[in-house]
Amino acid sequence: MSTPALRFDVFTLFPRTVEAPLEESIIRRAIERGIVAVQAHDIRTWTHDRHRTADDTPYGGGAGMVMLAAPIVDGVEAVLGDELPAARVLVMTPAGRVFDQAMARDLARAQRVVVICGHYEGIDQRVIDVLGAEEVSIGDYVLTGGELAASVVIDAVARLVPGVIEEASISEESHSSGLVEYPQYTRPQQYRGLDVPGVLLSGHHAQIAAWRRAESIRKTAAIRPDLLAKADLTERERAKVEEITGDA
């Protein structure tokens, strides 16, 4: 089998939680075809006591437990070896930089990505310091652990690796141009009194493209106006946005 274009190594206390979401649909097929590889590693493998202890109470006091640095660092170094300096190392934490499509595209150009899943009250800061890890969050909320967040990142990144999905399928989707995607329709032409917009039935590709662009802008203004500040819009489009939002 050929070498995967991108390999993910996930370090977690709960490997099955990471593996299960990746066993379906497009990502599963990408793994089966050898385009992407995902390996979940149990952090407890690198513990050194009979109880396989991977956490302890926090210095300074406070509720909960903190994951130990040594099992995580030892595990990452053992698995990656000489490849570690070239790998991207991520720690999933609600305190991290919010993951977005730009980061997904950036990670898709890597050859190896390490994802460390926090749990309990988090991980010892020295994991981040020793490994030079990037702290990443999938949103401004708290999960019980980083496993589901890791699966989200893997899915978002893997689908951008060449060969996983046809380029045409991802070129106009939400966030590819800084806007959310335009509304989509399929058969039947009428459903519960709602018709497919006539322009989509016209066969006029330029008009369809213009309609889709206008709808993307309209929908973004209505649902995600925060994206518009960085969106690549013409002066005419920005004027239209001001009409929609009522901004002067």
Query: Stretch 92-109: mean pLDDT, rounded?
Result: 96
57 plus 140 within the same structural domain: yes
d(CA 133, CA 101): 19
Domain span at residue 235? 179-245
Determine the pLDDT at residue 173. Answer: 62
200: domain CATH number is: 1.10.1270.20
Domain annotation covers residue 173:
no
| Percentage of residues of the chain with pLDDT beyond 70 | 96
Determine the pLDDT at residue 83. Answer: 97
More confident residue, 74 or 22: 74
Determine the pLDDT at residue 118. Answer: 93
- Contact between 54 and 68 under an 8 Å Cβ cutoff? The reply is yes
Domain annotation covers residue 223:
yes
Last residue of a domain, one of 132, 167, 202: 167
As a whole number, the mean pLDDT across the chain is 93
53 plus 163 within the same structural domain: yes
| Percentage of residues of the chain with pLDDT beyond 90 | 85
Domain annotation covers residue 56:
yes
pTM given for the model: 0.88
Domain annotation covers residue 172:
no
List, for residues 48-64, the tens digit of each pLDDT value: 999 999 999 999 999 99
The angle formed by the CA atoms of residues 168, 170 and 171, to the nearest 5 degrees, is 65
List, for residues 206-215, the tens digit of each pLDDT value: 999 999 999 9
Domain annotation covers residue 1:
no
Last residue of a domain, one of 143, 167, 191: 167
Determine the pLDDT at residue 202. Answer: 97
Domain annotation covers residue 104:
yes
List, for residues 66-89, the tens digit of each pLDDT value: 999 999 999 999 999 999 999 999
Lowest mean pLDDT of 35-39, 127-131, 155-159, 171-175, name the range. Answer: 171-175
Domain annotation covers residue 174:
no
Determine the pLDDT at residue 1. Answer: 56
41 plus 97 within the same structural domain: yes
pLDDT at 244 over 90: no
Determine the pLDDT at residue 2. Answer: 76
Last residue of a domain, one of 104, 135, 167: 167
141: domain CATH number is: 3.40.1280.10
Cα separations (Å) of 147 from 12, 75, 122, 155, 229? 7, 17, 13, 12, 32
pLDDT at 176 over 60: yes
